[in-house]
Structure 1
Amino acid sequence: MSTAVQAGAHAPAAGPEPITEPGIHDMTNEEYHSHKYALSSSGARALIDSCPAIFRYEQDHEQPAKKVWDIGNAAHKLVLGNGPKLRKIDHETWNTNVAKAAVLKAREAGEIPLKPAEYQMVHDMADALRRHPVASLLFDPERGTPERSLFWRDDKTGVMRRARLDWLPNPRTGRLIIPDYKTCRSAKPEKLEKAIEEFGYHQQDDTYRSGCHALGIADADAAFVFVCQEKTAPYVITVIEVNAAARRIGAARNRRALETFARCTETGYWPGYSDDVVPVALPGYAETRDTLEYL
């Protein structure tokens, strides 16, 4: 029998007053993520890549901060000009009690703790971006506003959706280009093809386009691009746009997630991987090997 989570199970913390009307909001990242009744791009990916029960549990239980997120969050702060304060912890290793206390104090204050080399690295990354001929224009402080939260209602399911734009360009004539900043291991285009699938960038593309269209920010021909920057010197940058085929797949995945979210919310039943007895085979390689050996 599949594990299922009933609505309200595990006593999730009370959230903020729900946003029921479409709109663009200026709020902190923490405030944005507290609106868990509205489905985000990352939530849509979790619903269909894992299962509703795991999605619901993770939504109802605050996830601890991970060190791996610090570099990306710090780079976002410097590139976008908005976000938590960066705190340089003057210890090369954090395995002493003094260093651990400093890191804990920074996190409790809502700051991002960084080792000296990391602190220098994210500043160098931001400097490299400002020298890039395209990325520097996309994130020009005179041409847009950082981190705006979008809320809108899906027409087909009635589900409230949400997205947090890294950058909202100022209205202008011509085609609107909406950028999103990503840090990555490799900005080589062939590697970024794998990142699109691994991290669901095509679903994020569809979600953000849908929100911008629903709120009248951009029309159908608006461009949504990812500014991808490597986390090792010389901090190479590649600006990519997901192609039409990937966008169609992203939209289809989002549609399935929205239907699943709507059904589970209505019934209060968040199933696991299956409610049926599932026949399971040996891995293909093992079946081939052992068939030759034993059968």
Structure 2
Amino acid sequence: MDGAWPFDDAPKRPGAGKPAATPAPERAEQPRLAAGVHQIDGEDYHRDPCPEASLSSTLAKTMLGQSPLHAWTASPRLNPDWEPVNKKTFDIGRAAHRAILGAGGDYVAIPRSMLASNGAASTKEAKAFIEDARAAGQTPLKEDEVAQIHAMRAKAQDKLTALQIDLDPARSEMVAIAEIDGVWCRAMIDNVPLDARLPIYDFKTCENASPEACQKAILNYGYDVQAEHYRQVWHAATGEDRVFRFVFQEKSAPHEVCVVELGADTLLIARKKIARAREMWGLCLRAGQWPGYPLGVHRVDLPSWAIERWLERESHEAQIKRDTGRDILAASYAAQSPENHEVNPWA
């Protein structure tokens, strides 16, 4: 991509990251935690309880995949207008975490009598129930969604038991805080077995948990960065050098489960990525400047595989024309014409 510029030049640019120059005012009620391992609720964790604005895996992925300005916008300690994101699409994953890990906010079924005739939670009573449930830290679900969560839990327990994986609820949602390379970092890890020789685990709900689909998800969502960030923060906080594993589970029946451990080459690149994210975070934090995308017109080429795919199609169609003397489109028209289809005399 043309028009790229070195990040190290960003603090010298006039007005770069201007909206982010002043950190957000501290929230008086927000606890401040020292380096180490803690167990706190998700709301306090996501508001960033570190001694200063800290780097999470989500912010690291945002720094690398978008820009420092996007990371500033998503930081609860830097952006004075930050608000937690609460989407309906998160509900199944949140409830599944609770059911399988035994930690986090509980879930509750919306009474069927409150639903509209089409099953939607659109009535005044249903909306009030949902609002009260969320205010109490609960995830409101329809009865069929609760049944879905219970089916997921049963499948996950069977699969993990077969793999001799025990996710102790007392060791779920462990928060690690540490300073690495002069940057405060935090991680809320789904499950950390007491035995330091065992891996740490992160649970993901998905539509497809086949190994190939998990590989794509790791690439598309930056889960490699998350894995290495969690591993390094836990090591810095405890001295334990642990393997990291993902547990992917499908939300739809049969709710299959796939446990994934990243390979050595992937982890090597992930270490480079997370180190760069920390470097960028530290530079921006010290300079008080959080640049967005570089100015300029960017020339973008499609990846080589996309170009090759078109050239292969073009070659294939040309070969058909040479062999038949007709364009492939004309052949398709002929094949679909009424005279080429048998008419059922009994219709």
| TM-score where L is the length of structure 2 | 0.73
Equivalent positions of 1:140-151 (< 5 A) are 140-141=167-168, 145-151=171-177
Amino acid at match of 1:196: I
Amino acid at match of 2:30: P
Shift of the 140–10 alpha-carbon distance from structure 1 to 2, 3 Å rule, reads: closer
| 86, 95, 98: which one aligns with 1:77 | 98
Shift of the 200–281 alpha-carbon distance from structure 1 to 2, 3 Å rule, reads: closer
Matched, 1:188 2:202: no
Matched, 1:64 2:82: no
Paired residue for 2:228? 206
Amino acid at match of 1:182: K
Distance in 2 of aligned mates of 1:80 and 1:133? 12
Cα deviation code 1:68-97 (max 9, x no counterpart): 111000000011111112111123311222
| 260, 264, 280: which one aligns with 1:260 | 280
Amino acid at match of 2:216: K
Cα deviation code 1:185-213 (max 9, x no counterpart): 10111111110012211111111111222
Distance in 1 of aligned mates of 2:163 and 2:266? 26
Distance in 2 of aligned mates of 1:145 and 1:282? 46
The answer (yes or no) to whether the contact 2:174–2:189 under 8 Å persists in 1 is yes
| 146, 166, 169: which one aligns with 2:190 | 166
| 96, 105, 111: which one aligns with 2:138 | 111
Distance in 1 of aligned mates of 2:43 and 2:249? 24
Paired residue for 2:260? 240
- Structure 1 residue runs of 5 or longer lacking an equivalent are 289-295
The answer (yes or no) to whether the contact 2:57–2:229 under 8 Å persists in 1 is yes
Distance in 2 of aligned mates of 1:216 and 1:69? 31
Shift of the 97–159 alpha-carbon distance from structure 1 to 2, 3 Å rule, reads: same
Among the aligned pairs, what percent are the same residue? 32
| 65, 71, 79: which one aligns with 1:55 | 71
The answer (yes or no) to whether the contact 1:39–1:162 under 8 Å persists in 2 is yes
Distance in 2 of aligned mates of 1:15 and 1:257? 29
Look up the SS of the partner of 1:138 in the other structure.
Answer: coil
Amino acid at match of 1:65: N
Look up the SS of the partner of 1:124 in the other structure.
Answer: helix
Q: Which has the larger radius of gyration?
A: 2
Paired residue for 1:228? 248
Total equivalences in the alignment = 276
Shift of the 145–135 alpha-carbon distance from structure 1 to 2, 3 Å rule, reads: farther
Paired residue for 2:129? 102
| TM-score where L is the length of structure 1 | 0.85
- For CA contacts below 8 A with separation 6 or more, give which structure has more relative contact order: 1
The answer (yes or no) to whether the contact 1:129–1:135 under 8 Å persists in 2 is no
Cα deviation code 1:226-275 (max 9, x no counterpart): 1110001110001110111211222211111111111111111111112x
Look up the SS of the partner of 2:70 in the other structure.
Answer: helix
The answer (yes or no) to whether the contact 1:139–1:167 under 8 Å persists in 2 is no
Paired residue for 2:3? none
Distance in 2 of aligned mates of 1:284 and 1:84? 44
Distance in 1 of aligned mates of 2:26 and 2:276? 25
Amino acid at match of 1:132: K
The answer (yes or no) to whether the contact 2:178–2:233 under 8 Å persists in 1 is yes
Look up the SS of the partner of 2:202 in the other structure.
Answer: strand
Cα deviation code 1:84-141 (max 9, x no counterpart): 1211112331122222221112112211010111111011101111111457742343
Deviation at 1:4, TM superposition (A): 3.7
- Structure 2 residue runs of 5 or longer lacking an equivalent are 1-14, 308-347
Distance in 1 of aligned mates of 2:239 and 2:91? 30
Paired residue for 2:151? 124
